[in-house]
Chain A
């Protein structure tokens, strides 16, 4: 085989491998992804057994801890719809009423369960702090 032909074959093999790998990556990203929803969308469209990334604010007065379980409700950023859920696992420091959170939830037996260690709270490192007016001692 001539060197030029050899190089062409190598290039075709390499490009084919790259295309196959990229296709696998794209396919798995769509099949493994969880839809990002707001509480009102979840109330409307939530299907039992499917994972969702729920984003919104922690509803004031909804946080309750019972043993290992943290119960709270996530509310629309601007709106009244709220989804109550039970969560176990790590709770980030900034978590508090009124803070924006992202949590992976799944609907089981009519209740939303937060996936273990999936709760993240927006770190206020890059936005201004607005203290919660609802919280009183």
Chain B
């Protein structure tokens, strides 16, 4: 099996080399059959890498510890669900997942655009295969997923318990899909520049894939935030960590591109800006992968001692130099067809939105890479913390939310005073009502930025609600449909516009959750004994009794924990019972005999299983860190380690049962982390609204599909008739 995997990688590298050569030869010499062959190389690559990925996945599912990566990240006791997800927990598996997803998405994109972009596609194919070839080379020369050890160890280390969370199955593939899909617009953008065809066609053809990249990246970021909130025992969802920032940066430039491409489509403006954004998004996606894989920056996620820094630096250097070169040498064909008529126009608001998004990206880039920048400039590494990021990102986020309310209602080209009065009265009234309601409700004025965010969000909801209301009313007056049907028809007929509006609503809702939970949170970190209670905000939390279980079968979270210790907490408000929480901490086998014959059974990573009472208005969140180091418990463990042989884990489990009984009989004080956070649920609801809106915007309308096929066929025929004989002429017949 490992031989098959290795053969697949070598074959895949050969296919990449052939595909690049065939595509470039085909497009330069006007040989259609070679360009077609290059495109088919991508399909072949997807098939070969699917086989390679299946080989590795099977090795994990069969617990084939002769594969080094399986022995390092899985074990016989790792639950099957997590064995399947453990493939991408290792460096080698992650690289394979990256290359595999890139080949799959590239194949899909090339298949769907096979009748369009004939001049640009061969260049795009060569670029996509170049990226795939880079990652495959890394797997062949630096970190092969198919390296083996003979004889194979009897068992593996196991998947780190922190990763035993359902998000492990979907969060990394989502992020990697986002990163790899960011490469698609880059490839087509560069292809359009190389083919000197920078009209809006390549943008129209790849817009949906840019949106898909944005969506996958966004979902990946949200899943990561949710995972962090519900698993990591710190109660936060964003920490400005380098790896988190790395995924946010291409998302921000991607958001800017999705807005500014509308200006190019409608008015032929911002061509240089758009190709620059596309190229920057692709480069940032690669830089994000580099940051995670190289361990160059201190991060809670980063590798220790990884060796992929140099190849990535070379790739990024080449990519940036090539991007600057093609944009500079094609500047003559990138001139705008129109000028900005007024600063009070939708184009200007879109431009402002772009500047804020790129500004946000620059702030995050500077803060993230500051340790490297300061070391290069001063010789000493220094870093900036969350307060520095908050100082700049919070005001920029406020402006961004406000612009997302102004953009949909302001007129194209030039807004008049009458237009402004007609469109901004309702949104402004909504913002004012919210401000007065907050002040009347006694919300602290000591948090002006949070209050400003609530008002901006109300402005956005007012503005989008007004657009929906007007559209539905217009539809009703022309068709006589009932309001719900008119609303549905309105969205169905213009999915891109109204889907986009839903995304704006989702972003506003999400920021309301972020502003409320970060500004009005109550947290407590303290030690409690059974029967004792504490106050967190308006809530009283009482430690009722300890809990303890052994063996994976009894582990409520089904993550394979050997032992689990926790607590039953009673939460009340004003003397009335609100919720019962049961946080626990799972202990895992370390597989390290030096920790003792019984000690190793619980000597691995300890992981919090958070318990919370989530609600529309607030979350009551709890985590526990039980104290296992009391003299009595240590004595029990010492006796067990001395009397039970290593080869009798069944007896070891009995000793753990005794340990748990002793813990429950006289529980020592446990450390609790308690948080009452308002409106956290709205962050996740906002995220779901964004996803819903993006799916509506990305979904092609049936009539539009038919129209596009007809128009595409007609324009291809027209082009054939008009085109002079040239190398590209042959390609147009593909």
A, B bound: yes
Select from chain A the residue with minimum beta-carbon distance to B675: A90
Residue B17 interfacial (CB < 8 Å): no
Nearest CB on B from A58, distance (A):
14
For B89, list chain A residues within 8 Å (CB): 125-126
Complex contacts, B526 vs chain A, CB 8 Å: 68
CB <8 Å contact, B592 and A131: yes
| Contact across chains for A125 and B594 when beta carbons are under 8 A apart | no
Chain A CB within 8 A of B388 CB: yes
Tell me, in angstroms, the Cα distance from A53 to B298 when the chains sit together: 11
Chain A residue with Cβ nearest B172? A125
List residues of chain B with CB within 8 A of the CB of A129: 157-158, 160, 604-605
Query: What B residues does A133 contact at CB under 8 A?
Result: 592, 594-595
- Is A92's CB under 8 angstroms from B374's CB? no
| Contact A32:B525 (CB < 8 A) given known A90-B673, A122-B300, A127-B304 | no
Shortest C-beta distance, A99 to chain B (Å), equals 9
Question: Which among B362-370, B404-412, B501-509, B720-728 touches the partner chain?
Answer: B362-370
Beta-carbon contact of A7 and B162 below 8 Å: no
Judge whether B370 and A29 touch: CB under 8 Å: yes
Query: Once the chains bind, are A25 and B385 in contact (CB under 8 Å)?
Result: no
Cβ of A137 and Cβ of B596 under 8 Å apart?
A: yes
Given A65-B671, A124-B160, A131-B595; A25-B363 close (CB under 8 Å)? yes
Nearest-Cβ distance from residue A16 to partner chain B, whole angstroms: 14
In the assembled complex, the Cα of A39 lies from the Cα of B452 at a distance in Å of 43
Could you say which of A34, A35, A89 contacts B385, with CB atoms under 8 Å apart?
A: A34
How far in angstroms is the closest Cβ of chain A from B309?
A: 14
Considering only CB atoms and an 8 Å cut-off, how many residues of chain B contact the other chain?
Answer: 74
Contacts of A55 in B (CB 8 A): 298
In this assembly, does A86 line the interface, its C-beta being within 8 Å of a C-beta of chain B?
no
8 A Cβ contacts from B369-412 to A: 370-371, 374, 380-385, 387-388, 391-392
Closest B residue by C-beta to A130: B157
B232 at the interface (CB under 8 A from A): yes
Q: CB distance B603 to A131 under 8 Å?
A: yes
Instruction: Write the nearest CB–CB distance from A117 to chain B, whole angstroms.
Output: 8
Question: In chain B between 298 and 312, which residues have their CB closer than 8 angstroms to a CB of chain A?
Answer: 298-306
Closest chain A residue, CB of each to CB of B235: A90
Tell whether A135 is near chain B: CB-to-CB under 8 Å: yes
Nearest to A77 among chain B residues (CB) is B304
A125 B160 Cβ-Cβ under 8 A: yes
Task: Note all chain B residues with C-beta closer than 8 A to A25.
Answer: 362-363, 366, 392
Contact assessment for B160 and A93 in the assembled complex, using a CB-CB cutoff below 8 Å: no
Inter-subunit contact A90/B162 (CB<8 Å):
no
Tell whether, in the assembled complex, residue A102 and residue B595 are in contact, meaning their CB atoms are under 8 Å apart.
Answer: no
Task: Return the chain A residue nearest B591 by Cβ.
Answer: A131
Residues in A with CB closer than 8 Å to B277 are none
Candidates B239, B301, B634; contact of A125 at CB < 8 Å:
B301
The CB with the most chain B CB atoms within 10 A, among A25, A68, A123, A133, is that of: A123
**Candidates A53, A88, A93, A132; contact of B162 at CB < 8 Å:** A93
Residues of B within 8 A of A3 (CB): 339
User: In the complex, are the beta carbons of A137 and B366 less than 8 A apart?
Assistant: no
Task: Determine whether the beta carbon of B292 is less than 8 Å from that of A104.
Answer: no
Residues of A within 8 A of B608 (CB): 93
Task: Establish whether residues A93 and B387, one from each chain, have CB atoms under 8 Å apart when the complex forms.
Answer: no
- With CB as the reference atom, state the residue of chain B lying closest to A63: B629
Chain A 8-38 interface mask (CB, 8 Å, partner B; 1/0): 0000000000000110011011101111100
Give complex CA distance A93, B392 in Å: 30
In the assembled complex, B72 has its CB within 8 A of some CB on chain A: yes
Chain B's nearest CB lies how many Å from the CB of A46? 14
Partner of B605 from A34, A68, A89, A124 at Cβ < 8 Å? A124
Measured between C-beta atoms, what is the minimum distance from A107 to chain B in Å?
A: 17
Alpha-carbon distance between A133 and B594 when the two chains are bound, in angstroms: 6
Residues of A within 8 Å of B361, CB to CB, are none
Judged by a CB distance under 8 angstroms, whether A121 is at the interface is yes
Is B602 positioned at the interface, with any CB of A under 8 Å from its CB? Answer: yes
Whether, in the assembled complex, B638 has its beta carbon less than 8 Å from a beta carbon of chain A, the answer is yes
Does residue B19 face the partner (Cβ distance < 8 Å to A)?
no
Residues of A within 8 A of B628 (CB): 137
A18 vs chain B, min Cβ distance (A):
8
Cβ contact within 8 Å between B673 and A137: no
Q: Is residue A49 contacting chain B, with contact meaning CB distance below 8 A?
A: no
B552 within 8 A of A: no
Q: Are A102 and B298 in contact (CB under 8 A)?
A: yes
Separation of A135 and B298 alpha carbons in the complex (Å): 25
Chain A residues with CB below 8 A from B382, complex form: 30, 33-36, 53
**In the complex, what's the smallest C-beta–C-beta distance from B232 to chain A, in angstroms?**
6
Q: How far is the CA of A123 from the CA of B305 in the complex (A)?
A: 14
Complex formed: what's the CA distance from A42 to B591 in Å?
Answer: 35
Q: Which residues of A lie under 8 Å from residue B299 when comparing CB positions?
A: 122
Considering only residues 70-92 of chain B, those with a C-beta below 8 Å from chain A are 72-73, 89-91
By a CB distance below 8 angstroms, the chain B residues around A91 are: 625, 671
- Interface-centre pick from A68, A89, A93, A135 (highest chain B CB count, 10 A): A93
Across-interface contacts of B162 in A (CB, < 8 A): 93-94, 123-125
Enumerate chain B residues within 8 angstroms of A121, measured Cβ to Cβ. 300
B409-466 residues with Cβ-Cβ distance < 8 A to A are none
Those of A53-96 within 8 Å (CB) of chain B: 53, 55, 65, 67-68, 88-94, 96
Residue of A nearest to B380 (CB): A35
Contact across chains for B595 and A136 when beta carbons are under 8 A apart: yes
Q: Are B384 and A135 in contact (CB under 8 A)?
A: no
A127 CA to B299 CA, complexed, in Å:
12
Which residues between 317 and 352 of chain B lie within 8 Å of chain A, taking CB atoms?
Answer: 339
Cβ-defined contact, A28 with B388, below 8 A? yes
Cα of A128 to Cα of B673 in the assembled complex, Å: 28
A33 touches B300 (CB 8 A): no
A29 to B387, CA, bound (A): 11
Q: Does B200 contact A (CB under 8 A)?
A: no
The reply to whether B381 and A36 form a contact with Cβ atoms under 8 Å apart is yes
A86 to B259, CA, bound (A): 49
Chain B residues lying within 8 Å of A28, measured Cβ to Cβ, are 388, 391
Which chain A positions have C-beta within 8 A of B391? 28
B233 interfacial contact with A, CB 8 Å: yes
| Given the contacts A92-B233, A136-B596, A137-B602, A29 and B367 also touching, CB distance less than 8 Å | yes
- Whether the pair B602, A120 counts as a contact (CB closer than 8 A) is no
Q: Which residue of B lies closest to A7 (CB)?
A: B339
CA distance A104 to B384 in the complex (A): 11
Q: Are A123 and B599 in contact (CB under 8 A)?
A: no
Inter-chain CA distance A32–B339, complex, in Å, is 41
Which of A26, A32, A126 gathers most chain B CB within 10 Å?
A126
Asked if A93 contacts B607 (CB within 8 A), the reply is yes
Q: A-contacting residues of B (Cβ < 8 Å)?
A: 72-73, 89-91, 94, 157-158, 160, 162-163, 232-235, 239, 241, 292, 295, 298-306, 339, 359, 362-363, 366-367, 370-371, 374, 380-385, 387-388, 391-392, 525-527, 590-592, 594-596, 598-599, 602-608, 625, 627-628, 634, 637-638, 641, 671, 673
Closest 3 CB pairs of A and B: A137-B599, A33-B382, A131-B590
> Which A residues are within 8 Å of any B CB, using their own CB?
3, 7, 21-22, 25-26, 28-30, 32-36, 53, 55, 65, 67-68, 88-94, 96, 100, 102, 104, 118, 120-129, 131-133, 135-137
Cβ contacts A to B, 6 pairs, < 8 Å: A33-B382, A36-B380, A127-B302, A127-B305, A129-B160, A132-B592
**7 additional contacts (CB under 8 A) given A25-B363, A29-B367, A88-B525:** A53-B298, A53-B383, A126-B94, A126-B301, A128-B73, A131-B591, A131-B595
